[in-house]
């Protein structure tokens, strides 16, 4: 019986260790068997995250029917940018559409009263994607 208990504890510890690779929070899980510390190593090379040099800005009037335009400066040659337009991102806010390479957003009636912002994701060869978020516009009129 002692052998089975020890074997079961080892299997649980090995499972937690394997899961810790994708979820570091499990490494200190209270569910881990007593005396076992989950640890894992990986040989994957991680790329440094690209540090976006400036926050994006939004030009245009926050008014129904108007067009807003995202601008981001200081990017090196070869940088690719996608934009995620959003409304507030608060309790009732969230993304507007899907990420896009379009720098513009047409303001619609459904956006009235909200504040629009944009998240720019910059892709650079040799780096993990970097992101920067604009300041929100004034309330859409």
Query: pLDDT, tens digit, for every residue of 19-75?
Result: 344 334 434 444 444 454 444 455 566 888 999 989 999 999 999 999 999 999 999
Q: Looking at the predicted structure, is the pLDDT value of residue 132 above 90?
A: yes
- Domain enclosing residue 93, as ranges: 57-133
Output the pLDDT for position 24. Answer: 43
Q: Token digits for 96?
A: 């507007």
Q: Do the domain assignments include residue 49? A: no
Q: Do the domain assignments include residue 52? A: no
Considering the domain architecture, whether residues 64 and 5 belong to the same structural domain is answered as no
Measured at the CA of 122, the angle between CA 119 and CA 124, to 5 degrees, comes to 170
Q: For residue 54, what are the CA distances in angstroms to 10, 44, 51, 121? A: 50, 30, 9, 12
Considering the domain architecture, whether residues 65 and 119 belong to the same structural domain is answered as yes
Residue 114: exposure state from Cβ atoms within 10 A (0-12, 13-18, ≥19): buried
Q: Phi first, then psi: what are they for 100, rounded to 5°?
A: -145, 165
Considering the domain architecture, whether residues 89 and 128 belong to the same structural domain is answered as yes
Considering the domain architecture, whether residues 39 and 61 belong to the same structural domain is answered as no
Considering the domain architecture, whether residues 31 and 88 belong to the same structural domain is answered as no
What's the total number of domains in the chain?
Answer: 2
């Amino acid at each position: 019986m002692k052998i089975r208990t020890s074997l079961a504890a080892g299997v649980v510890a090995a499972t937690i260790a394997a899961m810790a690779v994708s979820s570091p929070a499990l490494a200190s899980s209270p569910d881990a068997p007593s005396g076992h510390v989950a640890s894992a190593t990986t040989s994957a090379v991680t790329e440094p995250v690209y540090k976006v040099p400036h926050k994006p800005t939004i030009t245009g009037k926050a008014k129904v029917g108007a067009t807003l335009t995202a601008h981001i400066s200081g990017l090196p040659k070869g940088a690719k940018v996608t934009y995620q337009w959003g409304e507030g991102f608060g309790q009732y806010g969230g993304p507007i559409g899907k990420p896009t390479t379009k720098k513009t957003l047409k303001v619609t009636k459904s956006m009235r009263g909200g504040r629009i912002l944009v998240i720019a994701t910059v892709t650079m060869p040799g780096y993990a994607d970097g992101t920067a978020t604009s300041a929100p516009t004034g309330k859409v009129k």
